[in-house]
Structure 1
Amino acid sequence: MRGGLTGMEALGSLLPAEPLTRTVSPADVGRRVGQARTRRGLTGDALGALVGLGKDQISKIENGRRKIGVRELPKFAEVLGVSVAHLLGQPSRPTLAMAHRLAGDTSPDEDSNAKRRALQLLEVEDVLTQRAAPPPALPTAAGQQVFDYARKELSQRPRNKAEAERQGKHLAEQMRLRLGLGSHELGDLPGLIERHFGVDVALSPLGTQTDGLCIHGDGVALIVASTDFSQGHVRFTLAHELGHHLLGDPRDVINEGERDMFADNLQERRVNAFAGHLLMPEEGIRETLKWLSAGRVTERSLVALMEQFGVSLGALVYQLCVMGLITYDQGKRLRSQRVGDLVARHASVAPTGAGITVRQTVRAPERLLSAAVDAARNQHVGLGVVATLLQREDDDALWDAVMEADPEVLV
């Protein structure tokens, strides 16, 4: 019989907060209330309405001039999507605290496949942290330089569209420079994000209501993307969510569909500019066009660029417009074409169809998967942990795969 824990027993449950034993000051509680309110995107008026207090009372609480009563604390925690222990500054495990936050942030009528997947991953990480000590998710020295540039040089919010696009472009250029990426296409984008920025990346077929989800906070950084879109679309989503993380978006849970990603606001415009220039550097595009079509944009060169940089038609056309290589009207005409027919006419330069192919890939964060496989082999956790990460059945086939010497048999 197999040893260790299996199934849901292996995952455990979200444990209650630590006992509330030490005295905390109203100023500390108020500061945490204010921080949580900002992350939720609530005004003082809105928070007051949700907890049954006036705006002036919320202001006093956040400034430490009014205590939150014992009976009021649970309501504040519920509305703000945090635990009572968090508001009181009690010790807690970051992934567990974020799981609490995420579990309380999903309404019954919300399409929440991405949030449910993220919650699974947070629960898995919490179990592994207690039983297997997975390696911490840390940026490389080069990745930290990119973080520092984003948080220091781009800390001021853009004042207009041109500035938003300029900031996004500069961040992409800094990332390529610091990581030594040159003007070449990016291969394993999820691996690059995990390796250099300490952000776990998960891919799953999650439907088309949500493109991507970014969760970040103290000790937690996770990007989830739906693979029910083309590979090119998925790559843009990953780059877009990475932009939110690098630029320190104050929201700790960013759940976006296409309409959200391309909303007409400076925040989204900036991260879209970052994603576009990261995936499709201007120098690389010009080099390819010069070699393939004497610098002109043709149907054939368009398809070749989609293949080379692994991007969708829409993203590429937008970037070509930004570069001034095509006009807005030309771009509109190109986007009106059936992309499948366009690629089929020039299949010789698109052998994989990367820009249009939907693969419904399942990818677990490499850091967690490696730790889970090792822990399962050593019977520190059950096979259910690995099954949850891979979204596979906990069966004999998975058991045999996990016990193989080469973990690549799992994918």
Structure 2
Amino acid sequence: MSDALTGNEALGSLLPTAEPPPGAGPAEVGRRIGQARARRALTGASLGALVGLGKDQISKIERGRRKVSARELPKFAEALGVTVAHLLGQTSRPTLAMAHRLAGDTRSREDGNARRRALQLLEVEDVLAQRAAPVPAVPTASGQQVFDYARDELSQRPRNQAEAVRQGRRLAERTRHCVGLGSHELGDLPGLIERHFGVDVALSPLGTETDGLCVHGDGVALIVASTDFSQGHVRFTLAHELGHHLLGDPRDVINEGEHDMFADDLQERRVNAFAGHLLMPEDGIRETLRWLSAGRVTERSLVALMEQFGVSLAALIYQLCVMDLITYDQSRNLRGQRVGDLVAQHTSVAPTGAGITVRRTVRAPERLLSAAVDAARSRLVGLGVVATLLEREDDEALWDAVMESDSGVLI
């Protein structure tokens, strides 16, 4: 086990200093710089300030009208959080390149715990890719249909709030149709995301400064969510970040707290509408209301809906407003209530309290965990790789669970 690579060893330098090789001409390098700038949400002027050039020079570079010298390439790579190899179009390991970008992004440290966890997972995947060849993360045929629909039919930014909500709902309905979910509640949401959309999902108690983090692009797709929130809150975060990924958000790192997810922004409104309709389909809500309260929204039916769909009160109120089942004034009054007291008054319809219970769950991406366990048993990687995924100590208990167990189940 002592010969296993560590995360730091896996992150080697990929910064060549030679002139661009044949085929990496000004047009290709400029295009990659432009793409990386868009992912970082930088303007031409702000990128120019970082590398010591004017806005007009950045424009010429991105249009292929000005060559980037070998001396300038490392400056661009550092400013954009990529490697020189990436800018030159040289083959590199996608997870390693993404890890470099993630580690080099110093714009915000509010999401420090989530960012560190994502970086851990990217490093682990790079180690496994070199040693154990894990199963690649790819969407199913049904999941690919959803991707195609999102990119082909919803590629235009919404022009107003109504269009944003309509697009989000259409994407959720298409997702449910393609994956065969009908109007039923979702069970294992992380598993569904991984299985159908080729996105690794990790859950960890990461504090409450950031709800979720989506890292995607260049063959990498990862969602990390903090479980220091209620289960319902976590599920909405996962669906929200999935929406960003499906819709091809140009940012390669999307870190969001609740104030970001519910910002007065058309893109966020569209993704929120997707998350709401994915988790709480209209037919399912109306069916429950007809059965429980003759179609009316009551405190008891609110608690029952939270339990049935595994969502928070805030997410449910948002969806009921979108469906015009409650008014804005009613939603404001409901938000002012203590959700714990509300659930306690109607425990008969909320036996698990799924909407408000905080479990602080740790969940590693199933694809990586399975590969790591198999590789550890074959002595291809050290047990520390499994420990990192599970956020456990590399001790005798883990050794027994991984190396001595015949069931293949980690407890």
Q: Is the 8 A contact 2:33 2:62 kept in 1?
A: yes
- Cα offsets for 1:276-320 (capped at 9, x unmatched): 000000000000011111111111111000000000001101111
- Cα offsets for 1:316-355 (capped at 9, x unmatched): 0111111111111111111110000000000111111000
Provide the residue aligned with 1:227 in structure 2: 227
* Alignment partners' CA distance in 2, 1:49 and 1:5: 44
Q: Is the 8 A contact 2:7 2:120 kept in 1?
A: no
* Alignment partners' CA distance in 2, 1:358 and 1:99: 30
Q: Is the 8 A contact 2:137 2:199 kept in 1?
A: yes
2:11 is aligned, of 4, 9, 14, to 14
Shift of 1:108: 8.1
Provide the residue aligned with 2:330 in structure 1: 330
1:252 aligns with 2:252: yes
Letter in 2 for 1:14: L
Name the TM-score, length of structure 2 as normaliser. Answer: 0.96
Provide the residue aligned with 1:141 in structure 2: 141
Q: Is the 8 A contact 2:185 2:308 kept in 1?
A: yes
Shift of 1:11: 6.8
* Alignment partners' CA distance in 1, 2:258 and 2:217: 24
Q: Which structure is higher in RCO with an 8 Å CA cutoff and minimum separation 6?
A: 1
- How many residue pairs get matched? 407
- Cα offsets for 1:151-176 (capped at 9, x unmatched): 00001110000000000000000000
Provide the residue aligned with 2:42 in structure 1: 42
Farther-moved stretch of structure 1 (216-225 vs 106-115): 106-115
Secondary structure class of the residue paired with 2:56: helix
Farther-moved stretch of structure 1 (147-156 vs 45-54): 45-54
* Alignment partners' CA distance in 2, 1:221 and 1:312: 26
* Alignment partners' CA distance in 2, 1:113 and 1:28: 36
Residues 178 and 398 from structure 1, CA distance in 2 versus in 1: closer, same or farther, beyond 3 angstroms?
Answer: same
Letter in 2 for 1:137: A
Q: Is the 8 A contact 1:125 1:368 kept in 2?
A: yes
Letter in 2 for 1:360: R
Provide the residue aligned with 1:357 in structure 2: 357
Q: Is the 8 A contact 1:154 1:247 kept in 2?
A: yes
Secondary structure class of the residue paired with 2:180: coil
Letter in 1 for 2:101: R
Residues 242 and 18 from structure 1, CA distance in 2 versus in 1: closer, same or farther, beyond 3 angstroms?
Answer: same
* Alignment partners' CA distance in 2, 1:257 and 1:27: 38
Letter in 2 for 1:132: A
Q: Is the 8 A contact 2:202 2:364 kept in 1?
A: yes
Shift of 1:107: 5.2
Match runs of 1:35-74 below 5 Å: 35-74=35-74
Shift of 1:16: 1.8
* Alignment partners' CA distance in 1, 2:108 and 2:339: 36
* Alignment partners' CA distance in 1, 2:383 and 2:8: 10
Letter in 1 for 2:68: I
Name the TM-score, length of structure 1 as normaliser. Answer: 0.96
Letter in 1 for 2:14: A
Provide the residue aligned with 1:150 in structure 2: 150
Residues 18 and 81 from structure 1, CA distance in 2 versus in 1: closer, same or farther, beyond 3 angstroms?
Answer: closer
* Alignment partners' CA distance in 2, 1:111 and 1:242: 18
Shift of 1:69: 1.7
Q: Percent identity?
A: 81
Match runs of 1:85-96 below 5 Å: 85-96=85-96
Q: Is the 8 A contact 2:230 2:356 kept in 1?
A: yes
* Alignment partners' CA distance in 1, 2:81 and 2:115: 14
1:318 aligns with 2:312: no
Q: Is the 8 A contact 2:299 2:342 kept in 1?
A: yes
Farther-moved stretch of structure 1 (164-173 vs 251-260): 251-260
Provide the residue aligned with 1:127 in structure 2: 127
Residues 387 and 25 from structure 1, CA distance in 2 versus in 1: closer, same or farther, beyond 3 angstroms?
Answer: same
Shift of 1:13: 2.9
Match runs of 1:71-220 below 5 Å: 71-106=71-106, 109-220=109-220
* Alignment partners' CA distance in 1, 2:108 and 2:136: 34
Shift of 1:407: 2.8
Farther-moved stretch of structure 1 (241-250 vs 79-88): 79-88
Listed as ranges, the gaps of 5+ residues in structure 2 are: none
Letter in 2 for 1:361: T
Secondary structure class of the residue paired with 1:348: helix
Letter in 2 for 1:303: V
Provide the residue aligned with 2:290 in structure 1: 290
Provide the residue aligned with 1:28 in structure 2: 28
Farther-moved stretch of structure 1 (341-350 vs 41-50): 41-50
Provide the residue aligned with 1:391 in structure 2: 391
* Alignment partners' CA distance in 1, 2:172 and 2:73: 43
Secondary structure class of the residue paired with 2:254: strand
Listed as ranges, the gaps of 5+ residues in structure 1 are: none
- Aligned-CA RMSD value: 1.4
1:406 aligns with 2:399: no
Residues 249 and 194 from structure 1, CA distance in 2 versus in 1: closer, same or farther, beyond 3 angstroms?
Answer: same
* Alignment partners' CA distance in 2, 1:9 and 1:119: 13
